[in-house]
């Protein structure tokens, strides 16, 4: 059993008093779950509102000189309802009154948005009988809003050194002047990872409302099986291509320490979930880990004789995209040709300018642009060293009558990326998911 577990609960896990009770059962079932990171209460049903969304709405109204009382009442009633159902003793009315005043007195959008996690933490700390530690005191940002990991580690060591248990709200922190800053949406995942790193946890648990990472998008592949084990690198590959359960920035703090992350389902506690492990502890090829993808890429293909002998060619090529603020997803090349694959939305209104600059700086013999391409990534550690994997992928796509526009191998040697037409995206993923590797 792990000695120290940092346990983060998502908004759906704290959406109601009933969900809070599940959280307490989980925390008390294992005494190693010593540091708990709550999100703001999420939706109770599909037509409900997340507390964070309502807080943003309050700020927008106040910012335009419009009374936010009606919207804030919805927030307050939710918080009061949880407080009453759990029979808590904390003075929640004073907390709500203070937040209401702060909104009315011109508090920043980040501060207002962070109050969902703050109030959730106040309730949960009282319910678990754990000390409450304000994230503003231990999650340290620069004045520019960038997480200061060294200062955060020092603050965590100082504050938690003699505190064996605590509830620390997710999503926000503060700079040296006390100004509150937030991570991007879903940032409570990052808070949990930073705390796990800071306390040297043996495990970081992330409790949510899904069974973990699935092998493929369940909207495309019905009954897609969960991925029980995945490495940090595999997860990065899948997340980059659109698989989203965990905030992508949550990986880095724990990866550096080799702390595993366990994605679990609050509503199905006996499910295995997904364990994210250190790359060095992983075995070799165990099959395809997962399949993910994105639509709407544009391909700019250039041909130039003796391109590979021309010094500075790729620098000139890349500088055009850099100066136009366009990120490059992939860049497969041959001896006399190269294709640059970029997100369509980033080049849509700059297409003519980019093409003209490429003609001036790169001086290609020919240049061609094509839209409506989707990328599908097949990810698995050690996969590219196993004979026959690519043949099975291409055979499945051919059988499904999916035309392949591009093939590239990731530099990590754990992914094969296939370019297909947007219209073939779902069929491609479904066909590959059926293959026995």
Q: How many C-beta atoms lie closer than 10 Å to residue 144's C-beta?
A: 7
Q: Give yes or no for a contact between 8 and 192, defined as CB atoms under 8 angstroms apart.
A: yes
Q: Given the DSSP bridges, would you call strands 274-277 and 261-265 parallel, antiparallel or unpaired?
A: antiparallel
Of 4, 43, 32, 22, nearest to 264 by C-alpha is: 22
Of 109, 24, 95, nearest in space to 63 by CA = 109
> 27: which 2 tokens?
């925390």
Q: Which residues contact residue 414 at a Cβ distance below 8 angstroms, ignoring those fewer than 6 apart? A: 233, 234, 237, 379, 380, 381, 382, 383, 384
DSSP string for 113-131: HHHHHHHHHHHHHHHHT--
Residues in Cβ contact with 222 at an 8 Å cutoff, skipping those fewer than 6 apart: none
Phi, psi for 385 (deg, rounded to 5): -95, 0
Query: Residues 76, 207: contact at Cβ < 8 Å?
Result: no
Q: Using DSSP, how many helices (H) and how many strands (E) does the chain show?
A: 14, 14
Is 213 marked within a binding site?
A: no
What are φ and ψ of residue 105, in 5° steps?
A: -100, 15
**Rounded-to-integer distance, Cα 152 and Cα 409, Å:** 38
Annotation-wise, does 274 bind a ligand? no
Is 266 annotated as a binding-site member?
no
The three-class DSSP label of residue 7 is: strand
Secondary element (H or E) of residue 321: helix 313-323
Q: Give dist(CA 268, CA 271) in Å, integer.
A: 6
Rounded Cα distance between 352 and 382, Å, is 41
Tokens standing for residue 359: 């003609």
Determine if residue 117 is labeled as part of a ligand binding site.
yes
* 52 belongs to an annotated ligand binding site: yes
Query: Whole-angstrom Cα distance, residue 40 to residue 119?
Result: 8
Q: Which residues pair with 172 in a beta bridge?
A: 182
Q: How far is CA 263 from CA 39, 136, 271, in A?
A: 15, 26, 10
Q: 18 among the known binding-site residues?
A: no
Concatenate the DSSP letters of all residues of 51-72 into one string: HHHHHHHHHHHHHTT---HHHH
11 is in an annotated binding site: yes
Q: How far apart are CA 367 and CA 207, in angstroms?
A: 49
Binding residues for ATP: 8-11, 208-209, 219
Binding residues for substrate: 52, 117
Binding residues: 8-11, 52, 117, 208-209, 219
């Amino acid at each position: 059993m792990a000695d120290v577990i940092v346990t983060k609960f998502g908004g759906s896990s704290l959406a109601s008093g009933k969900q809070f009770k599940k959280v307490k059962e989980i925390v008390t079932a294992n005494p190693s779950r010593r540091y708990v990171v709550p999100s703001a209460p999420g939706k109770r049903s599909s037509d409900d509102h997340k507390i964070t969304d309502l807080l943003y709405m309050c700020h927008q109204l106040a910012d335009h000189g419009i009374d936010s009382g009606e919207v804030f009442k919805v927030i307050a009633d939710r918080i009061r309802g949880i407080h009453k159902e759990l029979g808590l003793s904390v003075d929640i009315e004073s907390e709500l009154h203070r937040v209401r005043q702060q909104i009315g007195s011109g508090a920043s959008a980040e501060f207002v948005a962070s109050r969902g996690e703050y109030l959730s933490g106040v309730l949960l700390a009282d319910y678990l009988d754990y000390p409450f530690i304000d994230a503003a005191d231990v999650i340290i940002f620069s004045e520019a809003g960038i997480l200061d990991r060294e200062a955060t580690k020092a603050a965590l060591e100082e504050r938690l050194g003699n505190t064996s248990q605590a509830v620390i709200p997710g999503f926000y922190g503060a700079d040296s002047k006390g100004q509150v800053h937030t991570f991007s949406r879903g940032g409570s995942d990052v808070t949990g990872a930073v705390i796990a790193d800071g306390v040297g946890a043996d495990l970081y648990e992330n409790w949510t409302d899904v069974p973990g990472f699935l092998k493929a998008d369940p909207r495309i592949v019905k009954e897609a099986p969960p991925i029980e084990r995945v490495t940090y690198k595999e997860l990065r590959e899948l997340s980059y291509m659109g698989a989203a359960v965990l905030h992508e920035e949550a990986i880095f703090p724990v990866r550096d320490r080799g702390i595993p992350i366990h994605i679990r389902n609050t509503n199905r506690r006996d499910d295995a979930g997904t364990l994210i492990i250190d790359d060095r502890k992983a075995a070799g090829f165990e099959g395809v880990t997962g399949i993910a993808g994105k639509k709407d890429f544009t391909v700019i293909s250039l041909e130039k004789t003796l391109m590979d002998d021309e010094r500075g060619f790729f620098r000139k090529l890349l500088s055009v995209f850099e100066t136009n603020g366009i990120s490059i997803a992939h860049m497969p090349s041959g001896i006399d040709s190269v294709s640059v694959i970029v997100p369509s939305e980033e080049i849509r209104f700059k297409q003519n300018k980019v093409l003209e600059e490429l003609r001036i700086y790169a001086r290609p013999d020919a240049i061609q642009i094509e839209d409506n391409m989707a990328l599908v990534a097949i990810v698995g550690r050690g996969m590219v060293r196993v004979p026959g994997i690519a043949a099975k992928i291409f055979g499945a796509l051919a059988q499904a009558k999916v035309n392949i526009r591009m093939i590239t191998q990731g530099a990590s040697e754990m992914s094969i990326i296939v370019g297909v037409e947007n219209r073939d995206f779902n069929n491609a993923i479904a066909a590959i998911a059926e293959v026995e590797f």
